[in-house]
């Protein structure tokens, strides 16, 4: 009896861990492949040997208790961890079979291909128009003002915000409601025409109605972009994603079709989380 | 009893009142403090305030007025020969009495009537103190007892105490405002007196500044000229040079500190930079005069330029170094205060570090940057010591940084140094200059406020 308890309370050594992700993490035609990804903040390891493929035009949800490393993993995919002092990423992450941590890879260009939407809406303190135009401007995507206008309009339309703001494009973005701000941030992200969009709990600061709008938007965006979404709401994961990955204490525990994970979790930890025993 | 002793006794009484009030509140609550309107402490403060404030008011009023009242009393009892003296002679008599009281003169050397008056004064003063002591202590004790009696569970002690605190706060800010108004008004009135003697037209548009006033009427150059333009150009020239040094250096070092430096580097470099503002200006002054100015002159000689050994350039350069921290520190604070989420937003869109800084961070930090620049400009305009030592006192109308110039503040000092008559235009000119300086800095502040309001990109 006592030996069992001691075993449960020892922190597992990552090297001799022997942990295996439950479910098939590979895909036939992946857009992103991650192999043996370890992430450290200083001496502290936050992710342990993550293996995961992310497909074309799918929405994959990352779920798990807070502090389990979902955001950390997300930020590996566009090298946002580079700007955190003391953060180190090991392993192999490929986007369309290009090593994104290779020397030749410019993180600036990578981030134009892998866009990111954050937990708290973070519009720049500029006009609505300038927010959306910011990305296209720095990447030189528009040759002239008409083209830029067009990009702004299509992006806002895709983000489902055009009707609400078309008469006040020159107003400050900070005057919008929280939900509108978050859709503006999505418009800003897709204005640079990325291949992948990373979303880190995009609805956690929003009310239910704004959340529903964004969830619908995510579903529509799936036809053009690969979307990786972190969420703490299991209903949301069930509603918007095709595949789900469950993280626990820096490890990827289980991955599979969303319907299967939610109806028939195979790992006890996943089951505990999904049935609401902790999280 | 000394007034200090009285003060300490009052304080002790107030502390005692606090405990009494607290205790009384606990008693009337019947041990259940939830029946009290306010927390027990407030009843303590309530009694303490009642005990101390009226007594203190009487004490300070007395100390302010007693000398004057007693003096009038004593003078009224002097023999008529003294009483009927004209005011200026009378004040001499008062002087004698005061000297006697201070022990600077012996009673035997003066008119016995005056010696007697001094003795009377001393007695009255002593009597007064005794009366005051009794009055204050009795008053304080009575107020203490009275306030303590009034305590019931329903007494709104917290509201009373808060009202007193609010009045104290208001009084402090009113005092600050009144002082400012007083200074401005006194400068204004003296300046108006100046403009009665020298026409504002000459002052504001005159191109020649030499405020020497004739000692004898027949002297050459009998009247000074008060054209303020050379001082203005001198001030602006030196300020411009200083800002040309401080603005870029300050901004760039702030950007380095907040965006590029490692945390440990920043922890060392930032305080070091701020030390620059703490060095006494006179040190900068002799650094400018003894090191920079000769160096510039030699450099100029080698390049075939003639740089005078007191030049606007030397003063401006050194002043620029001095005000770097005003720019760098405030800019750094403003940049650091820009939320992390905005940075991440920009990087997440594929912005380079340079694009993030110029496109997002600097605009978001603009209000802080402008106030930093403005503070630096005000410091530069108001700086006197460096200019006196390195740029000279000659009021030349020139925009050539290689020549010696002078500034408004330096001339204010020059006008007021030495023996002055208080109604000569030379002295009063200082007030006119002060007023102008005040208006200039005020305008600068208004312009900056407007800039901030118009161009600010506000985050939350
Ligand atoms: N900047 C950081 N510095 C140090 N540790 C961090 C940092 N960011 C996250 N961590 C740690 O890494 C672990 C995973 O964090 P995170 O990825 O934010 O979790 P999640 O998004 O799943 O809530 C946590 O234990 C957290 O404390
Ligand atoms: Mg997170």
From B155, B189, B209, give the residue that closes a domain. B155
Do B284 and B403 lie in one domain? The reply is yes
| B7 occurs within a structural domain | yes
Q: Which of A275, B347, B434 has its CA nearest to residue B338?
A: B347
Kindly report the nearest CA distance between residue A200 and chain B, in angstroms.
Answer: 12
Q: Select the residue of A122, A125, A135 nearest B350 (Cβ to Cβ).
A: A135
| B184 occurs within a structural domain | no
Predicted pLDDT at B185: 94
What is the percent of chain A where pLDDT is above 70? 92
- Of A38, A69, A86, A273, the residue with max ligand 1 atoms within 8 A of its CB, to mutate for a pocket test, comes to A69
Total residues belonging to chain A: 279
Predicted pLDDT at B1: 62
| B191 occurs within a structural domain | no
Any chain B CB within 8 A of the CB of A5? no
B117 confidence band (pLDDT: 50, 70, 90): confident
Which tens digit of pLDDT belongs to each residue from A56-101? 999 999 999 999 999 999 999 999 998 888 899 999 999 999 999 9
Number of domains in chain B: 2
| B186 occurs within a structural domain | no
| B217 occurs within a structural domain | no
Do B135 and B243 lie in one domain? The reply is no
In this model, does residue A17 exceed pLDDT 60?
Answer: no
Give dist(CA A258, CA A63) in Å, integer: 11
Do B149 and B236 lie in one domain? The reply is no
Give dist(CA B127, CA B283) in Å, integer: 55
Any chain B CB within 8 A of the CB of A239? no
Any chain B CB within 8 A of the CB of A108? yes
B219 confidence band (pLDDT: 50, 70, 90): low
Q: Select the residue of A80, A125, A188 nearest B344 (Cβ to Cβ).
A: A80
Predicted pLDDT at A15: 43
| B202 occurs within a structural domain | no
Question: In the sheet where A196-200 sits, what is the strand order?
Answer: A114-117, A196-200, A226-230, A59-63, A243-248, A251-257
Kindly report the nearest CA distance between residue A12 and chain B, in angstroms.
Answer: 33
Q: Which residues line ligand 1 (CB under 6 A)?
A: A 41, 46, 64, 66-72, 84
Enumerate chain B positions whose Cβ falls within 8 A of a Cβ in A. 262-263, 339, 341-352, 355, 359-360, 363-364, 456-460
Do B253 and B353 lie in one domain? The reply is yes
Do B244 and B137 lie in one domain? The reply is no
Q: What is the mean pLDDT of chain A?
A: 89
In this model, does residue B372 exceed pLDDT 50?
Answer: yes
- Of A14, A37, A40, A46, the residue with max ligand 1 atoms within 8 A of its CB, to mutate for a pocket test, comes to A46
- Of the ranges A193-197, B93-97, B130-134, B239-243, which one carries the lowest mean pLDDT score? B93-97
Do B126 and B250 lie in one domain? The reply is no
Do B323 and B419 lie in one domain? The reply is yes
ipTM exceeding cut-off 0.85 for this assembly = yes
CA A250 to ligand 1: nearest atom? 14
From B139, B155, B171, give the residue that closes a domain. B155
Per 3-state DSSP, chain B is made up of helix, strand and coil in percentages (nearest 5) of: 75, 0, 20
Kindly report the nearest CA distance between residue A227 and chain B, in angstroms.
Answer: 15
Do B368 and B235 lie in one domain? The reply is yes
Which tens digit of pLDDT belongs to each residue from B350-371? 999 999 999 999 988 988 898 8
Contacts of A125 in chain B (CB under 8 A): 342, 363-364, 456-459
From B111, B133, B155, give the residue that closes a domain. B155
- Residue range A225-241: average pLDDT? 93
| B190 occurs within a structural domain | no
In this model, does residue A279 exceed pLDDT 70?
Answer: no
Contact assignment for B350 to A139 by CB distance below 8 Å: yes
Give dist(CA B87, CA B447) in Å, integer: 52
Kindly report the nearest CA distance between residue A276 and chain B, in angstroms.
Answer: 31
Q: Which of B226, B224, B223 has its CA nearest to residue B202?
A: B226
DSSP string, B122-162: HHHHHHHHHHHHHHHHHHHHHHHHHHHHT--TT--HHHHHH
Do B138 and B233 lie in one domain? The reply is no
Do B147 and B234 lie in one domain? The reply is no
Do B127 and B236 lie in one domain? The reply is no
CATH number of the domain to which B261 belongs = 1.10.3720.10
| B96 occurs within a structural domain | yes
Which domain, by its residues, includes B70?
A: 3-155
Do B355 and B272 lie in one domain? The reply is yes
CA A69 to ligand 1: nearest atom? 17
- Residue range B312-336: average pLDDT? 92
- For residue B22, the CA-to-ligand 1 centroid distance in Å is 51
A8 confidence band (pLDDT: 50, 70, 90): very low
């Amino acid at each position: 009896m006592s030996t069992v308890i001691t075993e449960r309370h020892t922190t597992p050594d990552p090297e001799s861990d022997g942990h295996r992700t439950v479910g098939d993490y590979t895909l036939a035609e992946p857009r992103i492949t991650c192999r043996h990804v370890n992430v450290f903040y200083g001496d502290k390891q936050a992710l342990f040997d993550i293996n995961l493929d992310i497909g074309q035009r799918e929405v994959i949800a990352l779920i798990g208790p807070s502090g389990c490393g979902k955001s950390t993993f997300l930020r590996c995919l566009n090298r946002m961890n580079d700007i955190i002092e003391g953060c180190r990423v090991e392993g192999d992450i490929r986007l369309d079979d290009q090593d994104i941590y290779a020397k030749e890879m410019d993180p600036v260009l990578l981030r134009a291909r892998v866009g990111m939407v954050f937990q708290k809406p973070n519009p720049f303190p500029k006009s609505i128009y300038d927010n959306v135009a910011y990305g296209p401007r720095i990447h030189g995507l528009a040759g002239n003002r008409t083209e830029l206008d067009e990009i702004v309009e299509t992006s806002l339309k895709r983000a489902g915000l055009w009707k609400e703001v078309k008469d006040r494009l020159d107003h400050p973005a900070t005057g919008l409601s929280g939900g509108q701000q978050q859709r503006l941030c999505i418009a800003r992200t897709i204005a640079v025409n990325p291949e992948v969009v990373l979303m880190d709990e995009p609805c956690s600061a929003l009310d239910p109605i704004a959340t529903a709008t964004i969830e619908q938007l995510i579903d529509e965006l799936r036809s053009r972009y690969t979307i990786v979404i972190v969420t703490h709401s299991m209903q949301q994961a069930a509603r918007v994603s095709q595949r789900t990955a469950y993280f626990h204490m820096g490890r990827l525990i289980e991955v599979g079709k969303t319907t299967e994970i939610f109806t028939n979790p195979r790992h006890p930890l996943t089951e505990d989380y999904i049935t609401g025993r902790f999280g | 009893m000394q007034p200090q002793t009285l003060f300490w006794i009052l304080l002790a009484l107030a502390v005692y009142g606090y405990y009494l009030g607290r205790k009384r509140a606990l008693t009337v609550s019947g041990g259940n403090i939830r029946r009290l309107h306010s927390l027990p402490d407030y009843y303590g403060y309530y009694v303490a305030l009642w005990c101390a404030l009226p007594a203190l008011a009487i004490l300070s009023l007395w100390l302010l007025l007693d000398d004057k009242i007693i003096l009038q009393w004593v003078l009224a009892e002097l023999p008529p020969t003294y009483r009927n003296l004209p005011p200026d002679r009378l004040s001499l008599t008062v002087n004698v009495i005061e000297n006697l009281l201070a022990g600077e003169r012996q009673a035997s050397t003066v008119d016995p009537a005056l010696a007697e008056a001094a003795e009377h004064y001393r007695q009255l003063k002593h009597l007064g103190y005794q009366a005051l002591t009794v009055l204050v202590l009795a008053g304080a004790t009575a107020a203490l007892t009275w306030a303590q009696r009034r305590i019931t569970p329903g007494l709104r002690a917290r509201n009373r105490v808060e009202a007193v605190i609010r009045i104290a706060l208001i009084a402090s800010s009113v005092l600050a405002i009144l002082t400012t108004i007083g200074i401005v008004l006194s400068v204004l009135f003296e300046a108006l007196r100046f403009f009665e003697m020298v026409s504002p037209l000459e002052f504001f548009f005159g191109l020649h500044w030499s405020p020497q006033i004739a000692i004898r009427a027949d002297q050459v150059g009998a009247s000074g000229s008060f054209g303020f333009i050379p001082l203005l150009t001198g001030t602006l020239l030196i300020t411009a040079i200083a800002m040309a040094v401080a603005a870029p250096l300050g901004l760039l070092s702030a950007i380095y500190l907040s965006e590029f430096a490692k945390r440990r580097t920043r922890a060392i470099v930032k305080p070091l930079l701020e030390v620059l503002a703490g060095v006494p200006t006179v040190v900068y002054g002799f650094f400018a005069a003894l090191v920079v100015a000769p160096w510039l002159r030699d450099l100029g000689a080698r390049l075939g330029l003639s740089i005078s050994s007191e030049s606007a350039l030397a003063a401006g350069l050194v002043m620029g170094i001095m005000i770097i921290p005003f720019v760098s520190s405030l800019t750094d604070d403003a940049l650091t205060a820009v939320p992390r989420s905005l940075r991440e937003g920009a990087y997440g869109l594929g912005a380079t570090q340079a694009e993030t800084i110029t496109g997002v961070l600097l605009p978001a930090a603009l209000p802080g940057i402008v106030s930093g620049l403005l503070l630096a400009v005000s410091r530069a305009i108001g700086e006197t010591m460096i200019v006196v030592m390195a740029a000279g006192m000659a009021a030349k109308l020139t925009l050539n940084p290689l020549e010696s110039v002078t500034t408004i503040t330096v001339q204010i000092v020059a006008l007021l140094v030495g023996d002055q008559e208080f109604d000569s235009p030379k002295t009063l000119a200082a007030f006119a200059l002060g007023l102008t300086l005040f208006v200039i800095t005020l305008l600068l502040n208004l312009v900056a406020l407007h800039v901030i309001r118009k161009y600010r990109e506000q985050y939350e």
